Amino acid sequence: DAFHRLPWHNTPIRVAVFAPCTQRHVVRSDAALRRLLARLPGVEAIWLDIGCCGAAGDHMLRFPERAATLREPLLQQLIDSGCDQLLVANIGCRLHLQAGAEAHGLDTRVVHPVEFITQRLLPDMPEDSP
């Protein structure tokens, strides 16, 4: 299929993945992302347990201490995973988790899954690629 004709990096990499509340409660599924990541050559996705990261819209701004407390279990899972990249689709969650990772002294990149997927494409993709 067209997906496998694309020039993907196949260097092994482990990435942590967090499905934010918006994805679980509004979209009600992370199945498409799970299938897509499973198809990427060399990618091992470590899914963090379901829970709120504490961002919750402006919750992280109005109640920073409570938001940080909610974030801690996810950061511990990230540390335990040994991954240096965390994929999160929600911008608020990404900002909140990136700040938490930095506060813990972690050198973790928190990126949108689409950004990660595009980084896995080799730069010399032919013009006529699908």
pLDDT (tens digit, 9 = 90+) per residue, 20-74? 876 665 566 778 889 999 999 999 999 998 788 888 888 888 988 998 999 999 9
Residues 6+ apart with CB under 8 A from 67: 54, 55, 56, 59, 60, 96
Integer Cα distance of 97 and 94 in angstroms: 5
Rounded to 10 deg, the angle between the 91-103 and 64-81 helix axes is 80
pTM of the model: 0.85
Strand segments (E) across 42-95:
43-47, 85-88
Element (H, E) at 73: helix 64-81
- List of domains in the chain: 2-119 (3.40.50.1860)
pLDDT tens, 91-123? 999 999 999 999 999 999 999 999 999 999 987
